[in-house]
Amino acid sequence: MTDSAPPRSRETSLADGSYIRKGFGLKAEVQDTLAADYTGQLVDLLRSREYTLVAGDTTLRLAKEFGFCYGVERAVDYAYQTRRKFPERRIFLAGEIIHNPHVNAKLKEMGVIFLAASGKGFDYSGVVPADVVILPAFGVTIQDFQTLRDLGCVVVDTTCGSVLNVWKRVEVYARDGFTSLIHGKYYHEETRATASQVEKYPGGQYLVVRDMNEAEMVMEYIEARAGTPTKRPALSRDAFLEKFARAASDHFDPDLHLDRIGVANQTTMLARESLAIGAALGEAMARAYGAAHRSEHFRTFDTICSATQDRQDAVVELLGEPLDLMVVVGGYNSSNTISLAALCAEQVLTFHIADPDEIDVAHNSVRYRLIGPHHAESEQTSWIPTLGPLRVGITAGASTPNNKIGEAVARIFQIRGVDPTTLV
């Protein structure tokens, strides 16, 4: 991820000294604590041995890109610096700093107070001007930021630079009269923050689609209004509004706001699907109104962050090898981890675990998230064969610290009868 500065108006919208985006210069002071909390010896060993550990007939392969990305490291680092800078002040966090249960639990242990969601933003009713509020890597809505500006408290902004780049794209769409069609999850903090950027301009509109199936509903509506035959009957206006009631701007009207479309995406979605949605929507606009109309009324850009893309590419490369199963480590609410698990499940038996504690060595069982949209969890015994040759692949989402990846590696070897300490 890259770290780009926010627009000048945002940076100066709070009182001098109360808006912090570049840390407090305390990185060296918190570095030892961060290293103790999040480094992993087995991960370092895997890196040094070409991402491979072998013990007897057990081989474990780690994807070459995995775990904490720059944006996540920066967010966690700034949260630790904030605690060090303001030891006596109340420190609040708007939601979760990242989607990892261990990192968030550690911040709670440090006395950071997590603000609850309220509507499309967070509940700041308990915050007073003397307090400090940390904004997460996902960012917050412009309404949240306005509330904090009015409060006058210190704001530490850890919003990822890749997210800011998407915001700039969406803001330009709204300025130019284009509806922002966002590939993402309407309830995700990042997508809510991104969608809110359209409100910087009067009449700005957005629509969030979760996947290609929902994008096709949009395309069918566009083509049906133009009199173009569609693969299946298009939704009526009322049915469309009901379907996307929670995923569209307050005054969105499909009869008015699907004429000019600009595509963006939540940075952690499956990259190939985002690209496919953009391409398909452009083709639908051309079928409905002609190539000239598409050229003037349609825009699309790949706004998947480089770290997300790198992790997906590394998994695809690893899946080219013969593997018996894949383990994906990361929070169940981590979108980029879910995307990695979905990629893996297309090729090999895959277990998405939030945490190495989900692996019970004594009983050779695992609790894991089923691959799919419903967030269901399951448990399986004898999930790893204890005899015979075995090749296991492992990766982790961008919010998973190395120590948790290493713990998962250790437990896998323990089930196979290998003492992890003998691997070093």
Amino acid of residue 424: V
N- to C-terminal Cα separation, the chain: 32
Q: Specify whether the backbone of 19 is left (phi greater than 0), alpha (psi in -120 to 50) or beta.
A: beta
Indicate the length of the chain as a whole number: 424
Alpha helices in 176-321 (DSSP H): 189-196, 212-225, 237-243, 254-257, 271-289, 291-297, 306-319
- Which tokens belong to 91? 């420190």
Beta strands in 225-304 (DSSP E): 261-265, 298-300
Contacts of residue 405, defined as CB under 8 A and 6 or more positions apart, other chains included, come to 40, 42, 43, 62, 66, 67, 329, 394, 396
How distant, in Å, are the alpha carbons of 177, 180, 326 from that of 290?
20, 21, 45
Spatial distance between the Cα atoms of 329 and 180, rounded to a whole number of angstroms: 32
Residue 381's H or E segment, with its range, is strand 377-381
Residue 395 — φ and ψ, nearest 5°? -150, 180
Q: Which segments within 63-170 are labelled E, that is strand?
A: 91-94, 113-115, 117-118, 121-122, 132-135, 154-157
377 is catalytic: no
For residue 327 the two structure tokens come to 């383990």
* CA 376 – CA 395 distance, rounded (Å): 21
Q: List the one residue out of 172, 142, 137, 141 whose CA is nearest residue 156.
A: 137
Question: In degrees rounded to 5, what are phi and psi of residue 22?
Answer: -115, 25
Catalytic residue, from 171, 189, 190, 273: name it. Answer: 190
> So which residues are the catalytic ones?
190
